[in-house]
Structure 1
Amino acid sequence: MDLNTETLIDVTALKPLLGQTDLLLVDCRFDLMQPDAGRQAFEQLHLAGAVYADVNQDLSDQSLTGLGRHPLPTPAHFAETLSRLGFRPEQAVVVYDQGNGAYAARLWWMLRWIGHRQVAVLNGGFQAAQKAGLPMTSGAVSVVPSQVLDLRGTTSSVLDYLALDQARQDPSWLLIDARGAERYRGDVEPIDPVAGHIPGAINRPFTQNLDSEQRFLPPAELRMQFQTLLGARSAEQVVHQCGSGITACHNLLAMTHAGLVGSKLFAPSWSGWISDPSRPISRGD
């Protein structure tokens, strides 16, 4: 199946694809403060044919330490998750969450990380699908596992601690923090034990990618906004981070949708950075 997109799909384009065997529909609804809420919402009501991927358990590997609140799984660990979801490499994948794409973007990025390009986020998410009257069903879903694949992640798309520390001090690179401004400044910190931001990072909250209906802004508008931040830099000189490597993927998706392809992810993000108290931190603007 060809989605005719590698970034976003709207409900009108998704509707005729529903029910086809070469489409995998994945529900990524989640709530950082209530980790079970997403799965409960899925079992209450979800798009017909969808399977559920949990941000904590499926899109992270909590056995890894020192890598933030949502440690990026190894490709082998991710392969096991994809098997449980019933994923086959010939399938196109559409992912959605409650609306704004904050969690769906993580799975979108992970699939691209292992080289799968036929993947898109449903623009407007579950909220838009429900409003459009797409078919829904309820209850838990039993999935027949697929073959476990031998996956390799694209190492050029992620930065480790050493590379991040070098990049943040190099003016030819741009480190973008996707958290809200009050968390970036360190005014409040509702989740992590230390407030502030990585020195050298600038702030662009991921919510700036969205319109009033929680849909992504048009590509031309996103391109103009990000190009203003980049200046003379290329997209390949941009690193995204947030609190734990989730909403950073939203900014990465927005840039890609705008035609600015090749930016990187620092997956441990702020929660990983502060796991070593010797690392410097900044507060304020």
Structure 2
Amino acid sequence: MGSNLATFTTLISVNELAQHSKQPNWIILDCRNDLANPDAGPAAFAQGHIPTAQFVHLDQDLSDHKRNANGVFFGRHPLPERAAFIAKLRAWGISNDTQVLAYDAHGGMYAARLWWMLRWVGHAAVAVLDGGLPAWVEANQPLDTQIFEAAPGAISEQTALVSLVSVNDVVVNIETRHKTVVDARSPDRYRGENETIDPVGGHIPGAKNRFFKDNLQVNGRFKSAQELRAELGAVIKEPHNAIMQCGSGVTACHNLLALEIAGMPGAALYAGSWSEWCSDPARPIALGTN
């Protein structure tokens, strides 16, 4: 595979991964996580994972919790610096010509965060295992407990393949409504009826709700591109004028992956999402159904 050739760029099936996983330029990353228990992912990985997979921690590898000099809170899972993330990718053995495969056991919501972040640093050859580890196990594919250490990679930072917006961009959009904001959280959290993670419930004024578990998948696998276009197109008319957000910038990436599968690219991520938004009482909050 040449440095500019992206073989799998959205999803990969269990059969496809099983056939190609031993190729020397393929890297498999396990993204299992539990928002309520940060130790659950590493524990599950130790009990069994796809052979040659390396573990990726949401908090330690895909986030950077440092605040700025003024102590500003950027959300529960703020993005790391691009250079720091590139260093992580090199440590996992990723180079410019590497095909990366990401999986979890949660419908792809955590694997999609890694998928988006690789595209954020310009790497297109990354795909999420459709159905995740449950589909792998269901197909009687092997698990391993050995720790795999890849030789260091040499990936270089490229132009981003995705768009990112700041909290200020979202504030401005409340007035202009130039962009459609889509909230990927569960409907009860969106309505402000059940907030168990962040201190305040509700949603960004004007945001629409699309909860991925109800709308985008069946039994942990993504719907067809045609079905996703119908589902997402009912809310998002122009993907380039859409902003995806969620609780902390994780499940919003799942919506972005679904848009890419549907052939509707171009939407932006608000990485701070609700956890950043609700941390400032000056920002407006809406309740109920929009």
Which bin holds the TM-score, normalised by the shorter protein? over 0.9
Residues 71-110 of structure 1 mapped to structure 2, 5 A cutoff? 71-110=78-117
Identity level (%): 43
4+ long deviations beyond 4 Å: none
Give structure 1 stretches of 5+ with no counterpart: none
The alignment status of 1:264 with 2:268, answered yes or no, reads yes
The alignment status of 1:157 with 2:157, answered yes or no, reads no
User: Post-superposition shift, 1:130?
Assistant: 1.0
Instruction: Name the counterpart of 2:254.
Output: 250
Work out the CA distance in 1 between the residues paired with 2:216 and 2:174.
27
Instruction: Name the counterpart of 1:31.
Output: 34
TM-score by length of 1: 0.93
Aligned equivalent of 1:136, options 135, 140, 143 = 143
Instruction: Name the counterpart of 1:49.
Output: 52
Contact 2:95 2:156 in 1 (8 A): no
Aligned equivalent of 1:279, options 264, 267, 283 = 283
Work out the CA distance in 1 between the residues paired with 2:106 and 2:135.
7
Work out the CA distance in 1 between the residues paired with 2:221 and 2:122.
26
Work out the CA distance in 1 between the residues paired with 2:245 and 2:217.
22
Work out the CA distance in 2 between the residues paired with 1:136 and 1:91.
22
Instruction: Name the counterpart of 1:222.
Output: 228
Residues 206-217 of structure 1 mapped to structure 2, 5 A cutoff? 206-217=212-223
Aligned equivalent of 2:9, options 6, 9, 14 = 6
- Judged with a 3 Å threshold, the aligned counterparts in structure 2 of structure 1 residues 156 and 91 are, in CA distance, closer, same or farther, namely closer
Contact 1:7 1:121 in 2 (8 A): yes
* Deviation string, structure 1 residues 107-156 (Cα, Å, up to 9, x no partner): 00001111111111000000001111223201444444334x55256396
Instruction: Name the counterpart of 1:22.
Output: 25
The alignment status of 1:62 with 2:69, answered yes or no, reads no
Work out the CA distance in 1 between the residues paired with 2:157 and 2:77.
20
Matched length: 282
Contact 2:122 2:161 in 1 (8 A): no
Say which SS state the counterpart of residue 265 (structure 1) adopts. strand
- Judged with a 3 Å threshold, the aligned counterparts in structure 2 of structure 1 residues 71 and 21 are, in CA distance, closer, same or farther, namely same
Work out the CA distance in 1 between the residues paired with 2:152 and 2:287.
46
CA-based RMSD of the aligned residues comes to 1.7
Say which SS state the counterpart of residue 276 (structure 2) adopts. helix
